Amino acid sequence: MNVIDLHDPKRVDGTPDDVEVLLSSGDFLQDDFKISKVELRLYNERTDEKLGIFSLITSFVETDKGSIEMIYDEGFRGQNPLLRATEFLTSNLGISGLILRSVITLQEKLK
Give 10-residue mean pLDDT values along the chain (111 residues): 88 94 85 93 95 96 94 94 92 86 91 81
Query: By C-alpha distance, which of 87, 29, 25 is closest to 57?
Result: 87
The torsion defined by the Cα of 81, 82, 88 and 90, in degrees rounded to 10, comes to: -170
17 and 80 Cβ atoms separated by less than 8 Å: no
Does residue 72 contact residue 55 with C-beta atoms inside 8 Å? no
Q: How many other C-beta atoms are found inside a 10 Å radius of the C-beta of residue 98?
A: 18
pLDDT tens digit sequence for 35-48? 999 999 999 999 99
Q: What is the pLDDT of residues 2-17, one digit of tens each?
A: 889 888 989 999 999 9
**pTM for this model (two decimals):** 0.91
94: left (phi over 0), alpha (psi -120 to 50) or beta: alpha
